[in-house]
Amino acid sequence: MTKTNDLTRIIQMNYRDRTLTFETQQDLFSPRYVDKGTIAMLETVSFMMDDIVLDLGCGYGVVGIVAAQAVKPENVFLVDVNPTAIEYSTLNAQRNYVTDIHILQSDVYEALGDIRFTKILCNPPYHTDFSIAKKIIEGGYRKLLPEGELILVTKRKEWYKRKCISVFGGVKITEKDGYYVFRSVKNQR
């Protein structure tokens, strides 16, 4: 980690065979290092070249930038409600040479129109009430293509398990480093 000034930092993340560099700042989630929950989630995901990926609540862009190095960058969308997150995601996309991705300011799915995804990845704000998580899970079902996956990581298990089962009909849960990674698949009913 390199401190660039009182607000910004440069951090690195080793992911599979690559070293990625991110600029972040104190007002964004996990400004000193890439969050362990995010890493746990990414370690459980296999991307396919034709995936259409949404990094929901992108922060400074870690998940979307990792995805863009595994799939066609033009198939990757990063959204966050925070304009500072959008600014830093854009900077970090350039820093990591994935400039064809789509970075949008959006309150959950609002700015995405009719776009549908094969994978939606999110590290939701789980230290608040469940209203945002409810929007993420319920809206995620509608935003996924058939057989698409909603992948979430949290430290809480039971509420997310029940909600994913009620919306998707099932969930696979992997515990990794004190985090729960939830994977729900949209099946045609």
pLDDT of residue 32: 84
Q: How far apart are CA 170 and CA 161, in angstroms?
A: 8
Say which CATH number the domain at 127 has.
3.40.50.150
pTM: 0.93
Residue 2 counted as domain residue: no
Count of domains forming the chain: 1
Nearest to 22 by CA among 60, 55, 64: 60
Express each pLDDT in 64-122 by its tens digit: 999 999 999 999 999 999 999 999 999 999 999 998 999 999 999 999 999 999 999 99
Residue 81 counted as domain residue: yes
Residue 52 counted as domain residue: yes
Tell me the residue range of the domain where 153 lies: 36-87+97-185
Q: Are strands 76-80 and 102-105 parallel, antiparallel or unpaired?
A: parallel
Residue 53 counted as domain residue: yes
Residue 107 counted as domain residue: yes
How far is CA 137 from each of CA 21, 52, 53, rounded to the nearest angstrom? Answer: 30, 18, 15
Express each pLDDT in 5-35 by its tens digit: 557 889 999 888 889 999 999 888 887 888 9
